[in-house]
Amino acid sequence: MTNRYHLIGNYVSPYVRKVLVCMELKGLDYTIDPIAPFVGNERFSQLSPLRRIPVLIEGDRVLNDSSVICQYLDERHPQPSLYPSDIGDRAQARWIEEYCDTWLGDVVVWGMFFQKGVKRYVFGEEPDEAIIARARDEQLPVALDYLESLLPADGFLFGEPSVADISIASFLRNAAFVRYTVDARRWPRVAALLERAWALPAFRKLAGLEEKSMRSPLAEQRKVLMELGAPVSAETLGTSVPRRGVMRLE
Ligand SMILES: N[C@@H](CCC(=O)N[C@@H](CS)C(=O)NCC(=O)O)C(=O)O
């Protein structure tokens, strides 16, 4: 039997992780084509006009953007709900998700993870140390101050884990990938939330696949992920030639 959902996107992407955690929390079956956006073929360009991951395929339906996908999955499969029931809390959760997708994405993904990982290992270029230092020493601390001011001392933001907690934990995983540890003395609530969120079975299950992906060249990732039991699809939209995305020059 074919799975209802097919996801295109690499395990190391925080946007893909958001969707995967939602699917795992909801117990949905899926297949995955774990490509990096940079190696997508022409078919990928058709499915993802901005050449970005994740893309969710459900039969003839193609959905782009992690927030759109998470909300769609939540509406299709309401239990457990990943959006707070109170309208005000729900708006707040969406804002935190948006803040992570945009600003934490800029700082953690483009300022740190792309520079230290993708740029060197995918494009064979030297990282820009000034961009990394600014992201790590100036921009991320301000973002962590802001998150610290929002977070509760215990539990999750709105009781049960919501898309807001998932977003924070997904993006800060990428900071951990480049060996950044949130200082628990300076940001105790952020550090504790990360510990709680990353301990959820959904995050734990993905962590093994992320770590293996990080340690394997793109060309070998499908094979090693299959060996680990990941639901990798038989077909891929990946090529062996990385190219720059549509949206960014850096
Ligand atoms: N707003 C989008 C952003 C997705 C995104 O930027 N994904 C990154 C992967 S970490 C990507 O595909 N980047 C390629 C590019 O921008 O060229 C979402 O939430 O899905």
pLDDT digits (tens, 9 = 90+) for 150-203: 999 999 999 999 999 999 999 999 999 999 999 999 999 999 999 999 999 999
Res 118: pLDDT: 84
Q: Which residues are paired to 156 by β-bridges?
A: 159
More confident residue, 245 or 92: 92
**Identity of the amino acid at 73:** L
Tokens of 44: 């990928």
Res 227: pLDDT: 96
Residue owning the nearest CA to atom 14 of ligand 1: 52
| 97 CB near ligand 1 (under 6 Å) | no
Q: Let me know: does 17 contact 54? Beta carbons within 8 Å.
A: no
Residue owning the nearest CA to atom 3 of ligand 1: 65
Position 139 pLDDT exceeds 80: yes
Mean pLDDT of the chain: 94
Quick one: which atom of ligand 1 is closest to the CA of 65?
Answer: 20
Name which of 100, 48, 56, 55 is nearest 247 in CA terms: 48
Architecture of domain 87-198: Up-down Bundle (1.20)
For residue 159, the SS3 value is: strand
Between the CA of 15 and the centroid of ligand 1 the distance, in Å, is: 7
CA Rg value for the chain? 17
Name which of 173, 121, 228, 170 is nearest 23 in CA terms: 170
Residue owning the nearest CA to atom 13 of ligand 1: 52
Res 244: pLDDT: 67
At 249, the pLDDT band (50, 70, 90 cuts) reads very low
From 12, 15, 44, mutation site for ligand 1 pocket: most ligand atoms within 8 A of C-beta = 15
pTM for the full predicted model: 0.95
| 188 CB near ligand 1 (under 6 Å) | no
Identify how many contiguous H helices and E strands the chain contains and give both numbers.
11, 4
Between the CA of 153 and the centroid of ligand 1 the distance, in Å, is: 31
Position 245 pLDDT exceeds 70: no
In percent, the amount of the chain with pLDDT more than 90 equals 89
From 7, 20, 50, mutation site for ligand 1 pocket: most ligand atoms within 8 A of C-beta = 50
| 34 CB near ligand 1 (under 6 Å) | no
Quick one: which atom of ligand 1 is closest to the CA of 109?
Answer: 10
At 209, the pLDDT band (50, 70, 90 cuts) reads very high
Tokens of 16: 């893909």
Quick one: which atom of ligand 1 is closest to the CA of 102?
Answer: 1
Tokens of 246: 């549509």
Q: Where are the domains of the chain?
A: 87-198
Quick one: which atom of ligand 1 is closest to the CA of 54?
Answer: 20
